[in-house]
Structure 1
């Protein structure tokens, strides 16, 4: 089955990534000089991609697209699915086909699986630490050009996506409030502009009622400690979803999630996740 995401052009991503690695358009570029000089054009390899650590898997479908872009007839067997939690030493996929194609696509395929699985693995760690309280959200703190993939990876780890960008919800933050003159006025302007989903950031208890009265549909409780979060949740009383955000760490998320907030958002899921240790070993045929 072909990997697809709404708003994400897989073919363009694969081609642009391979072109970058091959140096297309640069003097002397457009080729894998090592493989083309060392490996016969008709040589064939088999290969196994595996994980050296316990991880949550993400990105295998994109890896397939890299290999198939260079050898459409490559035989590929996926052994696990994205979202699977696996132990160290688990095989992820088996491939067989043109050796040059495998070697040229190898780094792009591995980089993608390592990066996305790293995000999914960290996300799963945070989800598990929440102990069933609240829902984990990601943020817009993503690498430019990779947002759709990184947010896909957080979903594979058990999180729910926050807004995808600047277009699908208003998020009123302190600078918007500063210009508008208050949270109530900022929310009112967004509501009068016809915006349906209005997330309003508040960092004080006295901002909650003005934001709600003006029509906020979601309150982001910014950098509040646990006692203040409990107070805010009690005041909101379920009228809109509430989101704890700012400075959330693995050692604090359980207490934050247990305050009764609807969501907890964590930027480090996409900002700071280490790459998963995934490798690919080849055998000549």
Structure 2
């Protein structure tokens, strides 16, 4: 029989705009439980058995996702005792205990993988992000994430980049216009594309340019932010000098940890990095039984 998932989860009143924690937990557990439920725990673990364990990190990480992990455990055992030993955004060394919990063994072992998957994924993103943030420290540039996220996980992944110290770029297609090469191709020119966005009364108009000669037409038409796409360091310096502070500038495209410092030192306002959410490796985090 499938275990009942409790409604109304409130792990420390964790809330993110646009994210339904109850629904995420419910649907994630349903995916794992299927129709038959956790057949291993039902067969192997006595119904009255208790489990006391510790979630710990085998890697040095920036922590992200503990309140969500807590929600998974509470969904299957509302009476579980949980002590979070660190806070999201903390930097911890390898071997650090993150959470202690004690409760119904079947419930906690059923929730274990969903909880760990979430913390591993989000902590991996936060950890990679912090590495990029530290690499550009002192340059004046701000690190941005992108919309290159796993479908359905954008709010969580962008939360993780914030835990790592980045600033969120657009959350979706709705909160700013971003005019890219295909929009320009259909509209006929950068100037025409920007003018149409201005006529639609869009406040924030980001325009992607990959050549110096595209900058003035974009600005003249009303661009409020320029995305300097796949430009060399030398070209970025030239573009920043030409813009001369009239709008924020953003370097984007193929940015890596070994190149971001030189890019940031060109004077751009922002550097955006898709790999933060696209390619971050999961952190090595486990849950180990402890005898009482």
Provide the TM-score with structure 2 as the length reference: 0.95
Distance 1:185 1:30 in 2: 58
Q: Does 1:256 align with 2:267?
A: no
Correspondence for 2:125 = 119
1:107-133 deviation line (CA, Å, top 9, x unaligned): 000000000000000000111111232
Q: Does 1:266 align with 2:291?
A: no
Correspondence for 1:32 = 38
Q: Does 1:2 align with 2:6?
A: no
Shift of 1:284: 4.9
Shift of 1:2: 2.3
- How many equivalent pairs are there? 280
Q: Does 1:233 align with 2:244?
A: no
Unaligned runs of 5+ in 2: 1-11
* Structure-to-structure mapping, 1:76-91, within 5 angstroms: 76-91=82-97
Correspondence for 1:21 = 32
Shift of 1:30: 3.7
Q: Please report the RMSD computed on the Cα atoms of aligned residues, expressed in angstroms.
A: 0.8
Say if 1:153 and 1:3 are closer, same or farther in 2 by CA, change over 3 A.
Answer: same
Shift of 1:239: 0.8
Correspondence for 2:103 = 97
Distance 2:167 2:103 in 1: 37
1:133-184 deviation line (CA, Å, top 9, x unaligned): 2000000000000000000000000000000001111000000011111111
Q: Does 1:184 align with 2:191?
A: yes
Shift of 1:273: 0.4
* 4+ long deviations beyond 2 Å: none
Distance 1:132 1:139 in 2: 22
1:233-253 deviation line (CA, Å, top 9, x unaligned): 011111111000001011000
1:217-270 deviation line (CA, Å, top 9, x unaligned): 110000000010001001111111100000101100000001000000000000
Distance 2:290 2:127 in 1: 29
Unaligned runs of 5+ in 1: 24-28
Correspondence for 1:213 = 220
Is this contact kept in 2: 1:44–1:284, CA < 8 A?
no
Is this contact kept in 2: 1:130–1:253, CA < 8 A?
yes
Shift of 1:283: 2.7
Correspondence for 2:7 = none
Correspondence for 2:81 = 75
Correspondence for 1:26 = none
Is this contact kept in 2: 1:67–1:109, CA < 8 A?
yes
